[in-house]
Amino acid sequence: MSRTHVSCNINGEDVEFLTADASSLLDALRNELGLIGAKEGCGTGDCGSCSVLLDGRLVCSCLVMAPEAEGRDVVTIEGLAEGDHLHPLQKTFLEGAALQCGICTPGFLLAAKALLDANPNPTETEIRYGLAGNLCRCTGYDKIVKAVQEASVELRGA
């Protein structure tokens, strides 16, 4: 089976890896690089559990072929905290009980980061639509939406 050499930047570090051509970025992250924070809930881009940021844009890593990461910046859940500081979204998710089983949480945190990067002061409706590509079956979304609202306040220093 032929394997492709990929150089990219993951969570601020230059990384090289070999991957099967047919491998998804999700499989490469999990199996080649040991970054297990992105989850496979469906493998068809419908649940958002595998969400990562690719050049700052929110993508389902199960729908990106691993070789497509060549030369690009990838941010995974493992890169969301900065050093010893949790990202404000991680803090508000914890404090607001915005996770139950936690399998969807990495995807939601990255989707919420992508949303707040693009729109620092979203309305509740904008948050709900911004997170509509991510499925959560435990929380009913209520506390997730509130945690994003809280983080938005904190990030704006309001």
Kindly list the residues in this chain that would bind another protein in the complex (CB under 8 A): 1, 20, 22, 30, 35-44, 46-47, 49, 76-78, 80-81, 86, 90, 93-97, 99-106, 109, 124-125, 127-129, 131-145
Nearest Cα to Cα of residue 24 among 77, 62, 76: 62
The nearer residue to another protein, 138 or 153, going by C-beta atoms, is 138
* C-alpha dihedral, 81 to 32 to 68 to 9, nearest 10°: 40
The nearer residue to another protein, 68 or 78, going by C-beta atoms, is 78
- The nearest distance, CB 25 to another protein, in angstroms, is 15
The nearer residue to another protein, 14 or 82, going by C-beta atoms, is 82
One DSSP character per residue, 5-66 reads EEEEEETTEEEEEEEETT-BHHHIIIIIS--TTS--S-SSSSS-TTEEEETTEEEEGGGSBG
- The nearest distance, CB 155 to another protein, in angstroms, is 16
Q: Counting beta carbons within 10 angstroms of the beta carbon of residue 39, is it exposed (0 to 12), middle (13 to 18) or buried (19 or more)?
A: buried
- The nearest distance, CB 74 to another protein, in angstroms, is 13
- The nearest distance, CB 99 to another protein, in angstroms, is 6
- The nearest distance, CB 125 to another protein, in angstroms, is 8
The nearer residue to another protein, 67 or 96, going by C-beta atoms, is 96
The nearer residue to another protein, 71 or 142, going by C-beta atoms, is 142
Residues in the chain: 158
**Residue 41: beta bridge partners?**
none
